[in-house]
Amino acid sequence: MADTHAHAHHDHGDHGEHAHHPTGWRRWLYSTNHKDIGTLYLVLAIIASFVGVGFSMMMRLELAEPGLQFIHDQHFYNVILTAHGLIMVFFVVMPALIGGFGNWFIPLMIGCPDMAFPRMNNISFWLTAAGLILVALSTVVGGGAGTGWTVYPPLSNHTFHPGMSVDFAILSLHLAGAGSILGAINFITTIVNMRAPGMTFHRMPLFIWAMFITAFLLLLALPVLAGALTMLLTDRNFHTAFFEPSGGGDPIFWQHLFWFFGHPEVYIMIIPAFGIISQVVSTFSKKPVFGYLGMAYAMASIGVVGFVVWAHHMFTVGFNVETRAYFIIATMVIAVPTGIKIFSWLATMWGGSIEFKTPMLYAFGFIFLFVVGGVTGVTLSNAPVDMAFHDTYFVIAHFHYVLSIAAMFAIFTGMYYWLPKMCGKMYNEKLGQWQFWITFVGVNILFFPQHFLGMAGMPRRIADYPDAFAGWNMVSSSGAVVSLVGALLFFYILWDTLRNGAKAPANPWGIGATTLEWTVDSPAPFHTHEILPEIKAEPAGHH
Amino acid sequence: MIKSRWMLFLFVLFSAGAIAAGAHAEVIGAPQPWEWYFRTAATPVQEDLIWFHDLIFWVEVVIVLFVMALMIYIVVKFNAKANPTPSTRTHNTFLEVIWTVLPVLILVVIAVPSLRLLFFMDKAKNPEMTLKITSHQWYWSYQYVDNGGFGFDSNLIPEADLKPGQLRLLDVDNRVVLPADTEIRLLMTSEDVIHNWAVQSFGVRLDTVPGRINETWMKVPAAKIGTYYGQCSELCGVNHAYMPIAVDIVSKQDFQRWVEQAKTKFASADDAAPMKVVQAETQSSIDAR
Ligand SMILES: [Cu+2]
């Protein structure tokens, strides 16, 4: 158990809430406070999710039956599937998990007053917000970008997308990427230099480990994306030929660069989720994490190996057989540390005294569904089988199980778990559990049949499909409606909590919640840990 | 005597039927309503692929069921009511070694057949003929480089022009016709953006990339003579959903007959200039290779 002196700050900390800081719009625009910036990121993710989820609902409604229902312009369908991907990845999952929870809880959990570079934190957020505006514009100016979120040339080059839309999408990713790089530098500096006295690396909570590893992935992967995007931008506007075969370039070069970023990006979205799930499983089982060091180094090795497997997204581009053989083996290696994580979570719960409150339900659901999405990943890692599945709905089902379900479930887990700390009020437990079950049932009806569609060979990214695929598509679309009910109920719960929620104690979760954020008041005062807590004993899970 | 005459009659009837069926080949490789498994395999590659997929699939089913069983046990035994005092155990070296080593062994069991199949499906060993496939926005063109070099475009039949029995979004004006029992090399490239020539029953799914020529192969046994469908499987623009693939696999003799007809048919229809240009381009790029 962690043994801290954090309550000491109450003696001096009263001025914290009344400290001089700007109010009104200035408080948010000029904010350098990690909690306010975390809140801004969460609000950004919520706003972006209205758009991103709205687009996915449009796609599912269009696909409910064969033939064209209401999207008569196929290009418009391509535009919304592109925007859905970009918005969900860069402006919902990343801002929520990394910018939102990371900014809120890294300083609170390592016991320091704020992030290392508060002003840089501000610009990180506003770059991301500007990116969201640009990606939204990319759907309306210049005809819209119908390239898919992968933006493969030649389809994305000037010949096939002559309008400004792709340039807007590129600049959007440039801005969001720059914001994320600055954020990553901030996270790394904070975690390396500002841990409370006594909190050695091997005593950090697993959420901090997760954010630390994620920050390195961001720092190494995003510059590669930025370089690739710049080349695409000059190909489009200044007649360079990096990806132009007629000028000596190669479209496959783009795919290598994109996926060198894109595969670590997958772990950028899921490793923070691992961190949240570890905290919640330990808290609600009232047990320290089982195999703490194994868990930390499993995440680190997933991060490292994640950089050398990128071309498994490209098994059908036609590169030579030995290259494919290497990428099969390298990709399968990742299953080993992932398995360690799954089994360690199960072992953490084993022998526990588990309270199935809403965050724990979500964590529990995460673990099971991540296993389902994980094993289909093993299927797809085998290039020969990928010959049956590449660019079919099987791939859609796989990555929505690990992203739409698992990463979104981790966001819900974190929201329910930390909401009392962030807003000082308790959500309605009964409604929370209803929300979990509705969402759980909805996403499974939505995505499980897509495995069948993939087996039957239905290609992705089409607005109309051969009539034989109608049955499962209708099932999938009805699942989307159920999921939407779950999502709307979540927003109601959020509103209800802020308006009517009961006052939350500093630690609403009992003896299992041993990390430092539960030692400060709820809501967390504007300034916290002004007197550094001292970590005397080993943290959860390490003896 | 009467009986055998009847037999003869039936035989003639049957043969006539078979020939007629040959003209309108039986559809084997089309998607079926509520299908949740692979279409019929037509090539040894796809047969092996399905066998190998099933191997992985059952391993994964066992893993998922195992995890599910553990989770149900946890819910029943370790909820706060059933187990008020949590244990404090955080380590078990033996367990941790087991759940690291066992997955490694399982992955080795999967990797061996995976690599074997990968090398098997890569390229034809002794190709008897070559089909050249070129993608365009939004249709396919095919060249029979070993059969006189004729070629043709293959376009979707619009919904309004469909005849009874033709499949919406799958049937095309000119189907690819290929002989059974023949090892066929497929060469693919693209004239504009990246597309993907995918016919599931053949186990073929390969990107067509401008500036590159990709190679794969197929061989359908005579027992699997029939019609197979596929669709473009790489986002290629507005009409990505409207460039299907339809392949008739016929006997070797029927194929020769078809080639003779096709040579004249497509030679005359071919005067449209763009087709020739494409042909010349791709021929020279093959030579260059
Ligand atoms: Cu295409």
Cα B200 to Cα A470: distance, rounded to the nearest angstrom: 18
Q: Return d(Cα B66, Cα B74) in angstroms, integer.
A: 12
CA of B244 to the centre of ligand 1 (A): 9
Interchain contact, A328 vs B111, CB within 8 Å: yes
**How many other C-beta atoms lie within 10 A of the C-beta of residue A54?**
15
Task: Determine contact, residues A330/A259, Cβ cutoff 8 Å.
Answer: no
The answer, for A384 touching chain B at a CB cutoff of 8 Å, is yes
How many C-beta neighbours within 10 Å does residue B151 have? 23
- Across the interface, do A333 and B110 touch by the CB < 8 Å criterion? no
Mean pLDDT over the full length of chain A:
92
Q: For an interface test with B, which of A161, A343, A376, A538 has the most B Cβ atoms less than 10 Å from its Cβ?
A: A343
Decide if pLDDT at B74 tops 50: yes
For residue range A461-493, list pLDDT tens digits in order.
999 999 999 999 999 999 999 999 999 999 999
Q: What are phi and psi of B154, to 5 degrees?
A: -125, 110
In sequence order, the β-bridge partners of residue B190 are B135
Q: Please write the tens of the pLDDT for every residue from A95-120.
A: 999 999 999 999 999 999 999 999 99
CA dist A85 and A80 (Å) reads: 8
CB B236 within 8 Å of CB B195: yes
- Band of residue A159 on the pLDDT scale cut at 50, 70, 90: very high
Residue range A192-236, pLDDT digits in tens: 999 999 999 999 999 999 999 999 999 999 999 999 999 999 999
Q: What is the pTM (predicted TM-score) of this model?
A: 0.90
For residue A442, report the distance from its CA to the centre of ligand 1, in Å. 32
Nearest-neighbour CA in chain A from B222: distance (Å): 23
Closest CA to B74 of A348, A510, A288: A348
Nearest to A406 by CA among A203, A270, A221: A270
Residue A539: half-sphere exposure toward Cβ, Cα within 13 Å: 29
Provide the pLDDT for residue B82: 93
- pLDDT for residue A296 is more than 70: yes
Q: Residue A537 — pLDDT band, cuts 50, 70, 90?
A: low
Q: Is A422 exposed, middle or buried (0-12, 13-18, 19+ CB in 10 A)?
A: buried
pLDDT grade for B259, boundaries at 50, 70 and 90 = very high
Return the DSSP state at B274: H
Q: How close is the nearest chain A Cα to the Cα of B235, in Å?
A: 6
Residue in the block written with tokens 């590659």: B45
Domains of chain B: 44-120 (1.10.287.90), 129-272 (2.60.40.420)
pLDDT at A318 over 70: yes
The average pLDDT across A272-282 equals 97
Q: How far does residue B236's CA lie from ligand 1's centre (Å)? A: 5
* CB contact set of B256 (below 8 Å; sequence gap of 6+): none
- Predicted confidence (pLDDT) per residue in A74-93, tens digit: 999 999 999 999 999 999 99
Whether A336 and B31 lie within 8 Å, measured CB to CB? no
Is the pLDDT assigned to residue B8 strictly greater than 70?
Answer: no
Residues B186-206 have a mean pLDDT of: 96
For residue B210, is pLDDT > 80?
yes
A347 touches chain B (CB under 8 A): yes
Least trusted range by pLDDT, from A235-244, A418-427, B235-244, B277-286: B277-286
Which residues 6+ apart lie within 8 Å of A468 measured at CB?
A456, B30, B31, B32, B33, B35
E strands, B99-161, in order: 129-136, 139-144, 151-154
| pLDDT classification of A403: cutoffs 50, 70, 90 | confident
Residue B46 has pLDDT above 70, yes or no: yes
In the prediction, which pLDDT does A174 show?
97
Evaluated on CA atoms B158, B159, B163, B166, the torsion sign reads positive
Cα–Cα distance between A113 and B16 in angstroms, integer?
88
Q: Which of A169-173, A453-457, A475-479, B273-277 has the lowest mean pLDDT?
A: B273-277
Residue A428: exposure state from Cβ atoms within 10 A (0-12, 13-18, ≥19): middle
- Alpha carbons within 13 angstroms on the beta-carbon side of residue B260 total 5
* End-to-end CA, chain B: 65
**Cα R_g (chain A), whole angstroms:** 23
Residue (of A25, A67, A31) closest to A474 by Cα position:
A67
User: In this complex, do B91 and A290 lie within 8 Å of one another by their Cβ atoms?
Assistant: yes
Is pLDDT of B89 > 90?
no
| Residue A439, amino acid | T
How far is the centre of ligand 1, averaged over its atoms, from the C-alpha of B199 (Å)?
A: 13
A355 interfaces chain B, CB cutoff of 8 Å: yes
- Predicted confidence (pLDDT) per residue in B9-31, tens digit: 554 444 444 444 444 568 888 99
Measured between alpha carbons, how far is A462 from B169 in angstroms, rounded to an integer?
A: 11
Q: What's the one-letter identity of residue A433?
A: Q
Residues 6+ apart with CB under 8 A from A198: A534, A535, A536
Q: For residues B68 and B75, give the distance between their C-alpha atoms in angstroms, rounded to a whole number.
A: 11
The yes-or-no verdict on residue A49 having pLDDT over 70 is yes
pLDDT category of residue A24 using cuts at 50, 70 and 90: confident
Smallest CA–CA distance, residue A239 to chain B, in Å, is 17
Token output for A85: 């991907």
Instruction: Identify the pLDDT of residue B118.
Output: 95
Please give the share of chain B, as a percent, with pLDDT higher than 70: 84
Q: How remote is the CA of residue B283 from the centroid of ligand 1, in Å?
A: 21
Name residue B67's amino acid: V
